[in-house]
Structure 1
Amino acid sequence: MANAIGKYAAKKLLRKQMDRYKTKEVGGDKDPYFAMVKNPRNGKMKKVKKQIPDYIPEHDAKILAKMRSRAYKLDMCLFNFMGIRFGWSSVIGLIPAFGDVIDALLAFLLFLRCRKVECGLGNGLELYMMINIIVDFGIGLVPFIGDLGDAAFKANTRNLRLLEERLDKVYKPKAQQQAEASMRPEDRPQPATVYEDFSDEDNDMKGPPPAYDGSGGVRVPQPARVRSERERRDEPPAPKRSGTGGRGWLNGGSKRERERDVEMGEVDAPARSGTRGSRR
């Protein structure tokens, strides 16, 4: 139960962040939030959301969700320029002297967060991540051109992809891995990812489907019938019952008036006219 709650919280964290950036273009095949996949209906590419699969445990799913959020903000969340997505990392790198140091420190903090996964990273993967951070720091030291190169290199997004591949290698079911290995590379889902269409969220927000009639059209409910004043005036009064005078279950009645049985001699009382004291 706790594992399911943790995964649900991680997905809610991703969805909250995605709602802020869903109008932006997809930032390549390593975009932390969005991807372009082929629509099986018409063969065209469409934009979908990336969610965390259920086979990743709660603890590591939370780390992955936070890593995607941080990587997107640092590398992609601001604007496009010359076909390159820019995030806060590029803006921080513009600060003279200390900007690149702060940028490298933020990338190192994300690396430390990646190391907290329960499955571990392994020495080789940790070294690979540190090389990405060092290369990104060295590129950023070059004035102006280095800032463009830093935005294009995206060390945080690269390290995020390494983390996703590690989680898939450890947690993805073997049968699923074998099935995806036989697929074409362009048809395989990205690591540690399941796709969610934007239309799925729209359908969740809609109410229950309308009722349909036999001809295929929507059935419009009929208005409730209200008795006219004349019908209420001409209706004979209900006969009084002996005993307690109630119409409950013990008296053979109910809240709704029982139909009269003609064969047993139960007939409607004739309507009275004139004053109370007059008789015919």
Structure 2
Amino acid sequence: MFENDALRLLVAVAKCGSFTQAAVRLNYTQSAVSRRIAALEQQAGGPLFDRLPRGVRLTPAGRALHRHATEVLDRLVRAERELAVLHAGQGGLLHVGAFATANISLVPGALRLLRDTRPGVEVAASEGPTETLMRRLTDGALDLAVVSDYPSGLPQTDGVTTTVLCDDELFVVLPQGHRLAEAGTFDLRELRDEAWLQSAYGDRPTMLADACARAGFTPRKVIRIAEWTGKFGYVAAGLGVALVPSLAARAVPDTLVLCRLTDPALRRIVHVALPTTPLPAALELRDLLRAAAGTRDTVHGPAR
């Protein structure tokens, strides 16, 4: 209802106690100030100043509007400052999303470096599947997301750009003492008689189903365990084996054996996704993710 310039004029006149002095302070003419205040009073429904022989003073209605005006103008000043540091990449809130295994080491490592280079930036991290993350980017709820092309490529999303980060190779984790534990690299068909650990439910395609289909078999038994720690516990107990993306390799306990598979197609592509007009801090995080993806040690232990 009230224009910001009119509210600033109200505050200035109240502070100066005079239309004339406020006009000098704001580089207006005295008549311009009088006209603007009269228009503001018409909007407010009544007088805002008592006209005195020497200057003016706020009426009760003027004091009420003055209180709200100072609050509004103060909030606008703080908003301008916040936007300035946000657009400079030196502060503000950065919303970052990633799929689960990217949050094991890739994303946390890059966020640690971002904290060192831009300590004023506060990160709000979240986790979800690629489809959800891309939708949240489009909706403006995320400033950056780490996503993958599995199972059917990246969703076609307007207003989002993507950059390849790395290949995410699939490994298999075995218990110590398994007959293939010392093999290092082998064909997935060697495990066709094993029980498998996986976390997906329902009809959604899974990496395990796709990988086994490529190898020409269907798992004889699938044990569904939601969390990686549970999967690793079952493998350690000799109750099954599990596929592990390279992004999750660092989380594999040293008591288990991580082995490579011979099929080079058993991998997905990891991307970083940004809105068309990204924040400077998001661009820096993208670069830190690319550097981390290029230097990461994805395999440890017996895999070779």
TM-score > 0.5 by shorter chain: no
Q: In proportion to residue count, which structure has more strand?
A: 2
Structure number with larger C-alpha Rg? 1
TM-score, normalising length: structure 1:
0.23
**Whose relative contact order is higher, 1 or 2, with alpha carbons under 8 Å and at least 6 apart?**
2
TM-score, normalising length: structure 2:
0.21
